[in-house]
Amino acid sequence: MNEKEFEKLLQERENKDLDFKLELPESKKVAKLVVAFYNTRGGKIVLGVEGETRGPVGLKDPQRTEERFVQSIQYWCELDEAPEIEFVKYDSKEFIIVHCPKGKDTPYFVREEYTPRVRIGSSSMPANKEEIGRLYREGSSKSQDVYPVENATLGDIDLKAIENYLKKSKLTKKLDKNYINELMLKEHFVALENGKLVPTIAGILLFGKNTYLDMHHSEVKADRYVGDTRVEWLDRRDLRGTLFDIIKQAEEFFLRNMRTPAKVVGFKTEVRTEYPIDALREAIINALVHRDWHNQETILIRMYNSFVEILSPGELLSPITIEKIKRNDYTPKTRNKIIAGVFNNLKIMDKRGTGFLRIREDME
């Protein structure tokens, strides 16, 4: 990091991804901070900077500070990947930046503690029950959409829709009832629980008869605002149904709320949408397929006069970061392998991770 980049970092306030320390805290406190970053989404610890004022004081002995830091985390926690330690010179003073990645094998613990820690705002706190569940799911190789949906029954699945999918995807030509049940189990649309077949998250989201009743957070809230603030709105819709239904409704919402200038070229009238509809469609598909379905919040679509936001619950999966996505330097990962597989089989999306690249190309 050069001096200009460090100066820009000093202008930020402490947050979920950033912590300033004037000097290295005692060893167990260091471990708590590092573990919290690993269990959340990674982040930076800047040593030699006063926390509240962000004044760049510097370290008296950065080499000794680095040694003490390494000894602390080696004793107090087990990490599958060591943090990167960077020495920075700024204004004739020396600092250390500790780059903590988002951990791949969550949860991580501090020695002698039995509750993992997470980053909440600018604090490192013990994880609650829901966060602990998330950490174990993300640290597992198991797809997160294969878990049963609470209180859902086999009758909540549209078997005709599954038959149509099996025909379209050419997975089988054999469609008798017993074999379909066996295939649904194999494809993880249902799971065996207490001797009964029950729908999974993937099964309800893809083929539910009334998806919203079984999973209220499956709806997408879409708003078109006046101007560039969320004060007044022109249009509001709650998009509900299977993921396929929601994609169609979202596309209709976008088209209804976009300016569509037209011009005559030769003998034809060419109509252009304000935003490339393919880019918006790709973005909403990405949000639906890759979001954290264990999080009870809904996806939000916000259209303003000069930009569009799509907010999707859940963090990026390690080792994917925003910076890597911007550089198109990442290997695609999904927490919902079953949903992604169905979308790929139906040629709705590509599992090779080209979605963001196509969005950027469409927007140029």
Cα separations (Å) of 108 from 38, 45, 103, 121, 222?
7, 18, 8, 19, 37
Query: Encoding tokens for residue 79?
Result: 């990490």
Average pLDDT over residues 45-65: 93
What is the Cα–Cα distance from 156 to 137, expressed in whole angstroms?
25
Could you report the per-residue pLDDT of 152-168, keeping only the tens digit for each?
999 999 999 998 898 88
Task: Determine contact, residues 77/111, Cβ cutoff 8 Å.
Answer: yes
Domain chopping of the chain, boundaries: 3-139, 154-214, 217-363
Closest CA to 200 of 241, 250, 146, 240: 146
pTM recorded for the entire structure: 0.72
Question: Does the pLDDT value for residue 110 go beyond 60?
Answer: yes
As assigned by CATH, the class of the 217-363 domain is alpha beta
3-139 and 217-363 in the same fold: no
Q: What is the pLDDT of residue 195?
A: 87
Average pLDDT over residues 86-104: 95
As assigned by CATH, the class of the 3-139 domain is alpha beta
Could you report the per-residue pLDDT of 347-364, keeping only the tens digit for each?
898 655 566 667 677 666
Q: What is the pLDDT of residue 139?
A: 85
Burial class of residue 11 in the structure, from the number of CB atoms within 10 Å of its CB (0-12 exposed, 13-18 middle, 19+ buried)? exposed
Average pLDDT over residues 240-260: 93
Could you report the per-residue pLDDT of 293-309, keeping only the tens digit for each?
999 999 999 999 999 99
Q: Where are the alpha helices (DSSP H) in the chain?
A: 3-10, 27-39, 62-76, 129-139, 159-169, 177-186, 201-207, 211-214, 243-256, 277-290, 322-327, 337-345, 355-363
Closest CA to 278 of 363, 206, 219: 363
**CB count, 10 Å around CB of 163?**
14
